[in-house]
Amino acid sequence: MNKILGMASTFFGIVWLLKTIPWLLRFLNGIGECSGLQECDSLLYLFLAIIFSLFVYWGLKVGYELVIALQPKPLILWATRKWALLYIIINLIFFFYLLSIPRVPYFLSN
């Protein structure tokens, strides 16, 4: 059970990592193009990249602790299982939400 939860968390962490890279590149490309806060999309890109990178960290940390860490303590293992399940549920809700809308909004599309 630990390995399955850990691999699923790691999978979603890698998916979020792949989703974060384009936002960081858009932020870096748009730094010099801002003339005001209303016209500056690069701040939005930076904000989304930070949020996505938190999901990357969360998924990879939980995956590492469940799959690779050597003999975790029972209390830590229970907490890690709980966090892994929460992380996987949040990701599944988000992905099913994206599938349910007819068109992906601009801020979520690459």
- Residue 10 vs residues 5, 88, 100, 101: alpha-carbon distances, Å: 9, 10, 24, 26
84 CB neighbour count, 10 Å cutoff:
26
Based on its alpha-carbon atoms, the radius of gyration of the chain, rounded to whole angstroms, reads 17
Q: Report whether pLDDT(105) > 60.
A: no
Q: Report whether pLDDT(75) > 70.
A: no
Q: What is the pLDDT of residues 26-35, one digit of tens each?
A: 767 766 555 5
Residue 9: closest CA among 99, 94, 96, 85: 85
Separation of alpha carbons 90 and 60, rounded Å: 15
Q: What is the pLDDT of residues 42-54, one digit of tens each?
A: 667 677 777 777 8
The answer for residues whose C-beta is within 8 angstroms of residue 58's C-beta and 6 or more apart is: 9, 13, 83, 87
Give kind and range of the element (H or E) at residue 107.
none
> What value does the mean pLDDT take over residues 45-73?
73
